[in-house]
A = this chain, B = another copy of it.
Amino acid sequence: MKTELKVEPRTLAGFMELQPSEQILFNQMADKIRSSYERFGFLPLDTPILELSEVLLAKAGGETETQIYRFKKGNTDMSMRFDLTVPLAKYVAQNYGKLQFPFRRYQIGKVYRGESPQKGRFREFYQADIDIIGDGELSIVNDAEIPSIIYTTFRELGFDDFTIRINNRKILNGFFKSLNLVELSPEIMRIIDKLDKVGKEVVTQLLIEIGLSENSVYKIIEFISIIGTNSEKINSLKELGISDDLFLEGVKELEEIVTYIKLFGVPESNFMVDLTIARGLDYYTGTVYETILNDYKQIGSVCSGGRYDNLAEYYTNKPLPGVGISIGLTRLFYQLNELKSIKAEKTSISDVLVISASNDIAPCLPIANSFRNEGINTEVYSGNKKIGTKFKYADRLQIPFVAIIGEDEVKNGTVSLKNLSTGEQKELNISEAIQLLKKDTLLK
């Protein structure tokens, strides 16, 4: 054996690479998200991971740009996508004439951000996005459908106790306009955002420190103190006595959306108006969403998004309003796994392992075939090993059934099918074995 110097096999920091059992679980989650998105009629899209830097970074700047994986190959300046929204904007602008609007698309794919690596932060991660894009206009009903999609998706993922928080940026923007604090609103929002963590008094203090008048601070505290049911909150908003048009439009939209969300079947226990959420500062222009798993509040929002006026303003003059959400699947998986909220239970894709008791593999092969032709995931143990080794392989991979073919079975035209979790073993003819395995396969 050569003992030459080897390269140490290793994976880049910040890049998730799973064990097979974890990968099975991850894929199950991705499949559930995909089928939920398809349940709502979203079309699939798969844009390249690499784009021209000029195109991808048309809008970017600041922190985003420093995180980009950007390089030249020959004369071409390319970048790896950092989200799925910019490629969507490019796609819709580029294919405008070919698409039907409202254009409903989902995309589940990897995106790249060269952040400083730290626990739970990934440089390569999956996003699972949906967006609905209108041509010039888009009904508010779509804003109400989004929570219904979030609800369906997280129910499919096995969660019951989660809250979709909803706000409308017009309310916030109109409110700040009414206080003549538009310029300061980003800073004020950053302070308000800390409310949950630091409490009302510290927020008051911080607002005074940035130079707000007593009256403004009072109004802001009054605003963020609004509590109650969704309708109570909306009524309180109306009673603030603010006459700003944008504010009133936001309140009206929020009221409508709340009505429609109920009609879309989302229980009141799973959504709430939360006047303090803003979701970034420039992009969203109307409804905004966050989703909190109530048993795991510490991981923050697991599905966020909102309404925007112009998807593709850097590529086209066509006004393309839209509404969308994103699930950061890699981070979600990582966090839930850390918290032991999900557990990789399946360590095998196979329903059955076919083994020879006599080390004559030949009779095993047509039987494996028969199983596979019936859609049963089937593996043949190919090695010439002791029967104990073969069973150990099935045990370690937790393959549910072992089909044993020995001299008797060959003579009788049967298989001995052993259920590894119950230990029960039966000699069955092939079609009986298929029946039993299919029953088990369907029950999964």
A contact set with B: CB distance below 8 Å: 1-3, 6-12, 15-20, 23-24, 26-27, 38-52, 54-55, 58, 69-71, 73-74, 76, 78, 89-91, 93-95, 98-100, 102, 104-105, 110, 112, 114, 123-124, 134, 137-139, 141-142, 145, 148, 152, 259-260, 263-265, 312-317, 319, 348-350, 353, 361-362, 365-366, 368-369, 372-373, 375-380, 382-384, 393, 396-397, 399
Take A49-B49, A124-B49 as given contacts and tell me if A105 and B12 are in contact as well, using a CB distance cutoff of 8 Å: no
What are 17 A-B pairs with beta-carbon distances under 8 A?
Answer: A6-B315, A7-B315, A9-B89, A9-B312, A10-B90, A11-B48, A17-B91, A20-B99, A24-B43, A39-B378, A41-B378, A44-B349, A69-B78, A70-B71, A259-B362, A264-B365, A265-B365
Q: Is the CB of B23 within 8 A of A45?
A: yes
Inter-chain contacts of A104 with B (CB < 8 A): 379
Take A104-B379, A378-B40, A382-B139 as given contacts and tell me if A124 and B50 are in contact as well, using a CB distance cutoff of 8 Å: yes
Inter-chain contacts of A316 with B (CB < 8 A): 6, 9
Inter-chain contacts of A353 with B (CB < 8 A): 41
Q: Is the CB of B71 within 8 A of A12?
A: no
8 extra interchain contacts, Cβ-Cβ under 8 A, other than A38-B349, A100-B396, A264-B369?
A: A11-B47, A12-B52, A15-B50, A19-B95, A39-B377, A40-B372, A50-B69, A138-B382
Q: Is the CB of A361 within 8 A of B152?
A: no
Complexed CA–CA distance, A369 and B102 (Å): 19
Inter-chain contacts of A375 with B (CB < 8 A): 39
Which residue on B lies nearest to A106, using beta carbons? B349
Q: Is the CB of A366 within 8 A of B76?
A: no
Q: Is the CB of B39 within 8 A of A372?
A: yes
Which residue on B lies nearest to A370, using beta carbons? B265
Inter-chain contacts of A265 with B (CB < 8 A): 365-366, 369, 373
Tally of this chain's copies: 2
Complexed CA–CA distance, A405 and B123 (Å): 48
Inter-chain contacts of A12 with B (CB < 8 A): 48, 50-52, 76, 78
Inter-chain contacts of A366 with B (CB < 8 A): 263, 265
Inter-chain contacts of A11 with B (CB < 8 A): 47-48, 51, 90, 94
Which residue on B lies nearest to A74, using beta carbons? B114
- Return the contact of A47 from the options B17, B51, B70, B76 (Cβ within 8 A): B17
Complexed CA–CA distance, A231 and B378 (Å): 29
Interchain residue pairs A-B with the least CB separation, the first 6? A41-B379, A71-B71, A41-B350, A263-B365, A141-B382, A20-B43
- Return the contact of A71 from the options B44, B69, B399 (Cβ within 8 A): B69
**A399 nearest CB across to chain B (Å):** 8
Complexed CA–CA distance, A18 and B54 (Å): 21
Complexed CA–CA distance, A17 and B47 (Å): 6
Q: Is the CB of A46 within 8 A of B26?
A: yes
Q: Is the CB of B27 within 8 A of A44?
A: yes
Which residue on B lies nearest to A374, using beta carbons? B39
Q: Is the CB of B50 within 8 A of A314?
A: no
Complexed CA–CA distance, A138 and B105 (Å): 45
